[in-house]
Structure 1
Amino acid sequence: MAGTSITSLGYSFVFVPVVVNIFILLILAMKINRWIMARDYPSPLPVKKKKTDQQLAVTVPNHQVGFSEQDIDLALADSDVFIGMTHAELSHILTQVEKYTFKRLKGQLLCADIMIKQVVTAEYGTEVEEAWEIMRRNKLKAMPVLDKARRVIGIITWNDFFKFIDLSIYQSFQDKFHRFIRRTADITAMKPESVGFIMTSSVITVTDTTHIVDLIALMSNQGHRQIPVVNSEQRLVGMVYQSNLIAALYNEELAHKISH
């Protein structure tokens, strides 16, 4: 149609401009996304790891509330609309929608409204035996560890006591545990003597102004049974347990039914 002056150039007349334009557009897209929008582009595909039969048998669903990545895939497959964002970005938006919906329906119920204010605590230098006795006497599964300014520097659980005990068939667990928690009479010791050496330093905390909707994912999906509550100065003001969250949700639902 264009004549010999164009056809004599061959397929390179079409190929070269198209390739050059695509390359320029790709470079611009990468620079805009990475430098201006601060996100990976193109987004790498998740690598699916193969699981053994034993792992499949004991696997527990790690997404118990809300939606999963598979749910997003199925929804996109059923839709004829193109969405120019990654799974992570879309998941974040949908999660925010869920949170705002929950707040609209449940009201502004905060951690300060459901937390336990009288909290038993330990310090870095609290002896291991004393800490165990405090937890046993108060029937605690976990206890926050504070510094002198009442800021949370760790948390101690039953597992923190047991992880330092080397079990064997020759000695009973009770003997080893008692020997571990008791203070060493000598000046030097071959085992941890204070809470600071056995506590878990990485602690998830929430503020007293945090809405309870943020507790749901932490406790159901991430498995936290108790979370320290801090104020604006990061000082401990309470603890919130799974039972507190369940009771708050139940009472809220009950009050809603009664009012209707």
Structure 2
Amino acid sequence: MSEIPSTTFLQRLRAAFLASAKALWPKPFSIDYRERLRASCGAALGILVAALGGIWLAHGSGDAGRGALAAALVAPLGASAVLVFAVPASPLAQPWPVIGGNTLSALVGIACARWIPDAAFAAALAVGVAIALMLALRCLHPPGGASALLMVLINCHDFGFALEPVLLDSALLVAAGLLYNNLTRRRWPHVERAVAAEPESGHLRRLDLDAALARYNQILDVSRDDLEALLEEAEAAAYQRTLGDLRCGQAMTPAPVTARADMSLRQAWGLMRSHKVKALPVIDNQHHLVGIVTVADFMRQVDLDAHEGLTHRLRALFRQAKSRLQPAAHTVGQIMSRQVRVSSTDRLLIDLVPVFSEGGHRHIPIIDGQRRLVGIITQSDLIKTLYAAVRT
């Protein structure tokens, strides 16, 4: 019996260890194998161009022995190649950060190696000053820190080393990146778009993004334009998930109250009042939609310039309808709107937003393939359905 607690404790310890290890394991990159192959081949090509070009330009020969290669190529260039070809959209991987970051940091490292006797202090100061200089000159490049440190480690005192091979290697890598990235449909350099006038409407605006970045107060390894594009894509995906799949059939009121063309105005008005609706679709014997009568249609029949109240004027209209002397407007068919904006059950609900907001419509009958009435959507139905979808 004494072994059971021990076994349980070991199982819990093992589960906790596995959970911790799983949390430390990075998530997979969201790129396909074609992009992985493109980045790997590009980095190999970039280093090859820098190595052969550096040897030939510096020594005037094609001898690619290890000694010549060590003199013509600097190690931080490998990290630069990762950025240029694997993450070409990064602000840290653009031409000026690659050239300026590596070269200026190498100059800082050489100065520290020459003028600071203590090697450890020189190494620390070289990396710190290099970062400060790169930030000031907008050329922050992570391999630049390695360039500054390398100059101290090899105790380089020659400022010319920052020009050849550091500057030369960086320029050759940038040339290879310009050719390869653009040939493989990766825009490089990633130039920031010009700021255009923003529309007054819209969920996400540049000022909102700028304010959020200011509060975040950290350098992101993604350009501002790309971040904006990603947020717009995410917003579009969220819209499609919440609103994009809603259909009219999900928002409509089925089996609405209807009228017939030969129904008297008094009966139609009574239906509207008893059911508390402001429109009645008008159908024929086969349930086909032939028109719609609304409160506005009734109001057009009333003399609105008269001083009597609305109720008095409507009663006068119904008395006139009962009179045989003036039979001009005594049935629904005589005042209804025959040109009706309709929709189908499978139509996207979001398509009706401009119909309601800009077209001046208040009621949209829903019909089937045989033009038979199956429901109606009002502004209230639209707002209620969209609000419910956003909240979920």
Partner of residue 202, structure 1: 339
Q: Distance in 2 between matches of 1:252 and 1:138?
A: 27
CA gap of 1:179–1:246, structure 2 versus 1, over 3 A, is same
1:215 matched to 2:352: yes
Partner of residue 163, structure 1: 300
* Equivalence map 1:29-48=2 (5 Å): none
Task: Return the offset for 1:235.
Answer: 0.6
* Equivalence map 1:1-260=2 (5 Å): 102-103=239-240, 106-169=243-306, 172-182=309-319, 184-185=321-322, 187-255=324-392
Task: Return the offset for 1:125.
Answer: 0.2
Q: Unpaired segments of 5 or more residues in structure 2?
A: 1-199, 203-234
Amino acid of the residue matched to residue 278 of structure 2? Answer: K
SS in 2 for 1:239: strand
Q: Distance in 1 between matches of 2:271 and 2:372?
A: 21
Task: Return the offset for 1:133.
Answer: 0.7
Residues 118-153 of structure 1: CA deviation (Å, up to 9, x unaligned): 300001000011001110111111111111111111
Q: Distance in 2 between matches of 1:159 and 1:232?
A: 29
Q: Percent identity?
A: 32
Q: Is the 8 A contact 1:127 1:183 kept in 2?
A: no
Amino acid of the residue matched to residue 288 of structure 2? Answer: R
Q: Is the 8 A contact 1:65 1:217 kept in 2?
A: no
Task: Return the offset for 1:104.
Answer: 5.3
Amino acid of the residue matched to residue 356 of structure 2? Answer: M
Q: Unpaired segments of 5 or more residues in structure 1?
A: 1-63, 67-97, 256-260
Partner of residue 92, structure 1: none
Aligned length: 163
CA gap of 1:246–1:125, structure 2 versus 1, over 3 A, is same
Q: Distance in 1 between matches of 2:330 and 2:259?
A: 14
Q: Distance in 1 between matches of 2:286 and 2:201?
A: 36
Q: Distance in 1 between matches of 2:339 and 2:247?
A: 24
Query: RMSD value over aligned CA atoms?
Result: 3.0
Structure showing greater radius of gyration is 2
CA gap of 1:254–1:173, structure 2 versus 1, over 3 A, is closer
CA gap of 1:99–1:238, structure 2 versus 1, over 3 A, is farther
Q: Is the 8 A contact 1:205 1:229 kept in 2?
A: yes
CA gap of 1:169–1:244, structure 2 versus 1, over 3 A, is closer
What is the TM-score with the length of structure 2 in the denominator? 0.38
SS in 2 for 1:240: strand
SS in 2 for 1:182: helix
Task: Return the offset for 1:236.
Answer: 0.4
SS in 1 for 2:253: coil
Task: Return the offset for 1:244.
Answer: 1.6
Q: Distance in 1 between matches of 2:324 and 2:355?
A: 42
Task: Return the offset for 1:167.
Answer: 4.0
Q: Distance in 1 between matches of 2:391 and 2:297?
A: 38
CA gap of 1:173–1:215, structure 2 versus 1, over 3 A, is closer
Judge which range, 172-181 or 153-162, deviates more.
Answer: 172-181
Q: Distance in 2 between matches of 1:142 and 1:216?
A: 19
CA gap of 1:179–1:251, structure 2 versus 1, over 3 A, is same
Q: Distance in 2 between matches of 1:223 and 1:100?
A: 30
Q: Is the 8 A contact 1:225 1:242 kept in 2?
A: yes
CA gap of 1:185–1:136, structure 2 versus 1, over 3 A, is closer
Indicate the structure with greater helix content. 2
Residues 81-125 of structure 1: CA deviation (Å, up to 9, x unaligned): xxxxxxxxxxxxxxxxx9999445534211111111130000100
Q: Is the 8 A contact 1:103 1:213 kept in 2?
A: no
Amino acid of the residue matched to residue 160 of structure 1? Answer: D
